Amino acid sequence: MTEFRYDTQLLIEGANLDEDEIFDYFTDNFIGDSLLAVGDDTLIKIHYHTNEPWKVLEYCASLGEIFDIVVEDMDRQSRGLKG
C-alpha cells in the first residue's frame, strides 16, 4: 500500500489567487506529498497525494470555483484495479 492513498487533482479558478500562498497552506495544514500548485492569479492547478482528499477539496473550494476534479485511489491502482 502507498503511504498516501489518493492522487487528488483539480483546477481552481478565482481572483487574486497566489500559488505560493496555496502551496504554503498545503504544507502547513495537510499531510501528503507530491504537491504541485502552479498557475497564475486566476487559475491554479493542484496535484497532491493525501489520505484526506475531502479536506483539499474543501480548502480549494474556499478559494474559488473548483473543476476538473480527479481523485484516484492509488492503492487500488497498485493492485491492478480501476482507481
Report, at the CATH architecture level, how domain 6-78 is classified: 2-Layer Sandwich (3.30)
Domain segments of the chain: what residues?
6-78
For residue 34, what are the contacts with CB-CB under 8 A and spacing of at least 6?
4, 7, 47, 48, 49
Question: What would the pLDDT profile of 63-81 be if each residue is shown by its tens digit?
Answer: 999 999 999 999 888 888 8
In 1-83 the beta strands, taken as DSSP E runs, fall at 6-13, 32-39, 43-50, 65-73
What confidence score (pLDDT) does residue 1 get? Answer: 56
pLDDT tens column, 2-45: 699 999 999 999 999 999 999 999 999 999 999 999 999 999 99
For residue 36, which of 62, 64, 13, 8 has the smallest C-alpha distance?
8
DSSP 60-78: HHHHSEEEEEEEEEHHHHH
Q: What number is the average pLDDT over the span 37-55? A: 98
Containing 57, the helix (H) or strand (E) segment is helix 53-63
User: What is residue 35's predicted lDDT score, i.e. its pLDDT?
Assistant: 98
pLDDT at 81: 83
Predicted TM-score (pTM) of the model is: 0.91
